[in-house]
Structure 1
């Protein structure tokens, strides 16, 4: 297993969000990392990552693509550690690692290391807004 042994120890608190009937489902990324341990690492072509052409960040009215928020994403992308594989759900959708994906894209890479969860875990939170969670 490449990279995940030490993941989570120094990472900022973060969540993966997907729309729910009254807000968002949210998964704690630290839990996703624990669930993915032991999964085989595979190379995934960047061309297969649909989220690169979808609205990923800035999904709420209070989270807008201002120059400041873009600069924060630039910084997170620049400092993203590509030694950790991204995490995909069982259907191949990204659950963690978009800054690493963008870093790979900008650097001219064609693939990125990934692990795929065997089963979709239940969300940690249902019908929440990102601002409702602790970071």
Structure 2
């Protein structure tokens, strides 16, 4: 899995292949939400497992945010977490956008990997 999304409950880690999520989300109908409904906006997202927010790593993410194609709706989990599109969401936040189009699963697809922690 090149691009992945993971959630952990402290004992188990669920991992999804984001490229598979893109395919599964193709037929989901985009709809508008208030950007503040998205969970994780105030969580550490890109820096974990020893990846420190250095100037270089922050600038790498800043570049991705500035180049993000906001015409593509982010893909959300059943509970409004972000499977794919956090850089696009960050750009919307920087631009002061309050409402955005998203695609959302009503039930999350089965994860590609389940690991015991």
TM-score, length basis structure 2? 0.87
Gaps of 5+ in 1: 1-12, 129-135
**Structure 1 residue 28, shift from structure 2 partner:** 1.0
**Structure 1 residue 67, shift from structure 2 partner:** 0.9
The answer to whether structure 1 residue 31 and structure 2 residue 20 are counterparts is yes
Count residues with an aligned counterpart: 114
Aligned to 2:96: 108
Written as runs of structure 1 = structure 2, the 5 A alignment for 1:56-67 is 56-60=45-49, 62-67=50-55
User: SS in structure 1 opposite 2:44?
Assistant: coil
**Structure 1 residue 81, shift from structure 2 partner:** 0.8
Deviates more, 1:36-45 or 1:94-103: 36-45
Structure-2 separation of matches of 1:25 and 1:65: 24
8 Å CA contact retained: 1:35, 1:117: no
Aligned to 2:65: 77
Aligned to 1:97: 85
Deviates more, 1:34-43 or 1:49-58: 49-58
TM-score, length basis structure 1? 0.76
Calculate the aligned-residue CA RMSD, in Å: 1.7
Given the alignment, which residue of 24, 28, 50 partners 2:39?
50
**Structure 1 residue 25, shift from structure 2 partner:** 2.4
Structure-2 separation of matches of 1:66 and 1:34: 33
Gaps of 5+ in 2: none
**Structure 1 residue 59, shift from structure 2 partner:** 2.3
Structure-1 separation of matches of 2:54 and 2:7: 22
